[in-house]
A = this chain, B = another copy of it.
């Protein structure tokens, strides 16, 4: 149950019944391309505009996750979902056809962590037998929302990240439903993060804005469970990128923890930044969501990894706050995911 100051441990860990990832062409050409369930060659996803494309991608990922788990829509009691866009419009239009009672979430790029945490909390409490966690981003909707028109072809500093076109969907359910949960990874615990504002103001260097929040949540997790980095096979941040990773490792080292060998960042994994010109790495809600479904969960299913701390990171800014000269607070939500037999 309650552990330490901010964490929750699940006595009977909810299981990840099934998951699915859908992504765009560029992500398909990256290092994880072969692991992504559906790589769509048309970044418009057959729709008329970018927002509709992102909605279509959400729907596709959600439906595929259900299909892979042989679960019908009406067997899912609650949906936890979000995206980066103002008023979550990709989610509103992407999930309406699911007809599942829905909690709309905004945690910037940390949304998959927030959604997974609430989905697991809901299942473990007995409020639902199955829940669905969904998070997406799309390069073109994000550029339109936060930066410049695509046709403008603006230059980007090396500290900038590239918003992932992708969506991850995860069905979280109660143990004991038979074959469907064989080898299924378990959500053993969560450490919801708090907002950390270190005064970083450079929206082209979001790794620096988010690293302190990631450090805070990791240290909170260590403290709450009386563990350290040796407890995890991997600590997986969402989208710190190369610069954020360096900051994270430095700050953790100052706190007495060497994460060099076990830290992994979804934003670094998803692209080959040199060949793909993505600078510091990938970002967006879809970055950690796709990497979770395509790369992390399979390694937990196979038993290659026993236990990971999945830690999507979010930079809390809007064009309005940025233009008003505000800083960029960060947030990171930690989810402890274990292989089936990790505890035994």
Q: Indicate if the CB atoms of A124 and B126 lie closer than 8 Å.
A: no
Q: Which of A13-21, A93-101, A178-186 contacts B (4 or more CB under 8 A)?
A: A93-101
Q: State whether the Cβ of A208 lies closer than 8 Å to any Cβ in chain B.
A: no
Given A2-B127, A106-B106, also A101-B192 (CB < 8 A): yes
In the complex with contacts A85-B320, A104-B107, A106-B106, A77-B2 CB distance below 8 A: yes
Contacting residue for A51 out of B2, B124, B324, CB 8 A: B324
Residues in A69-106 with C-beta less than 8 Å from chain B: 77-78, 82, 84-89, 92-93, 95-96, 99-106
Contacts A101-B194, A104-B114; is A316 near B92 (CB within 8 Å)? yes
Complex CA gap A182/B126 in Å reads 28
User: Measured between C-beta atoms, what is the minimum distance from A325 to chain B in Å?
Assistant: 9
How many positions in chain A have a CB within 8 Å of any CB in the partner chain?
A: 61
Is B106's CB under 8 angstroms from A105's CB?
yes
Among candidates B117, B127, B128, B194, residue contacting A99 with C-beta atoms closer than 8 Å: B194
In the assembled complex, the Cα of A329 lies from the Cα of B125 at a distance in Å of 30
Q: How far is the CA of A196 from the CA of B124 in the complex (A)?
A: 28
Tell me the complex Cα distance, A96–B331, Å. Answer: 10
Q: How many copies does the complex hold?
A: 2
Flag if A93 contacts B329 (CB, 8 Å). yes
CB of A318 within 8 A of CB of B89, answer yes
Does A197 contact B318, Cβ atoms closer than 8 Å? no
Since A2-B126, A2-B129, A105-B106 are in contact, a sample of 18 more A-B pairs with Cβ atoms closer than 8 Å, ordered by chain A residue number, is: A2-B128, A51-B321, A86-B87, A87-B106, A87-B317, A89-B318, A93-B326, A95-B195, A96-B195, A100-B194, A102-B194, A103-B118, A105-B105, A121-B121, A121-B125, A124-B125, A125-B127, A144-B320
Interface residues, chain A, with chain B CB atoms under 8 Å away:
1-2, 6, 8, 48-49, 51-52, 77-78, 82, 84-89, 92-93, 95-96, 99-108, 114, 117-118, 121-122, 124-129, 144-145, 191-197, 316-321, 324, 326, 329, 331
